[in-house]
């Protein structure tokens, strides 16, 4: 399987699920960051990055888990296999800092999985766009998801 496609699906899932939860981000990209040791990333706005605008831990977990769930679906792997892999290190570390108890983690996992399943065509649409242009801002992702919603409703 093409690693760039896997990265695009993973990052697109973070972005689509953040959008569905009403969270605003700056941009999502498949451009590797050697300093951060990531294959791609979804970047929060400056307000969120600086801590001026806090994201609820459960919502953060849902967004973080969406990427690995989408990757697992695409590669026909288990969530455990995806999270155990080296590229998922940033997601693992971020999840560990949230302080969720077991019940909260399970609930976030279920919601992330449900959102990935219900928004799979939108995730694929955003991933395809990422493969074409590497980086999408929030408005571009919102427009792509809106197109998907319109086609699904129509």
CATH code for the domain of 53: 1.20.58.760
Between 89-96 and 57-75, two packed helices, what is the crossing angle to 10 degrees?
A: 150
Segment 39-63 mean pLDDT? 78
What per-residue confidence (pLDDT) applies to 48? 56
- Name the percent of the chain lying above pLDDT 90: 64
| Domain residue limits at 22 | 3-146
107 is a domain residue: yes
Q: Would you say residue 152 lies in a domain?
A: no
Please report whether residue 85 resides in a domain. yes
> Residue 153: inside a domain, yes or no?
no
How far apart, in Å, do the first and last CA atoms of the chain sit? 33
| Contact assessment for residue 82 and residue 39, using Cβ atoms and an 8 Å cutoff | no
Q: How many domains does the chain have?
A: 1
pLDDT in tens, 110-142: 999 999 999 999 999 999 999 999 999 999 999
Q: How does the average pLDDT of the chain come out, rounded?
A: 89
Q: Tell the residue number behind the tokens 């600086």, with chain if given.
A: 50
Crossing angle of helices 3-20 and 102-118, in 10° steps, is: 110
Q: Is residue 26 part of a domain?
A: yes
């Amino acid at each position: 399987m093409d690693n760039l496609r896997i990265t695009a699906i993973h990052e697109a899932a973070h972005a689509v699920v953040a959008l569905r939860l009403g969270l605003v981000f700056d941009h999502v990209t498949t451009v590797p960051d050697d300093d951060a040791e990531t294959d791609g990333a979804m970047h929060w706005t400056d307000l969120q990055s600086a801590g001026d605008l806090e994201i609820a831990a459960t919502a953060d977990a849902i967004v973080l888990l969406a990427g690995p769930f989408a990757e697992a679906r695409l590669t026909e792997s288990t969530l455990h296999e995806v999270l155990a892999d080296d590229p998922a290190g940033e997601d693992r570390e971020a999840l560990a800092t949230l302080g969720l108890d077991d019940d909260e983690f399970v609930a976030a996992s279920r919601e992330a999985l449900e959102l990935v399943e219900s928004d799979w065509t939108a995730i694929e649409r955003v991933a395809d766009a990422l493969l074409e242009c590497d980086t999408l801002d929030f408005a571009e992702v919102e427009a792509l998801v809106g197109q998907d919603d319109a086609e699904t409703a129509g």
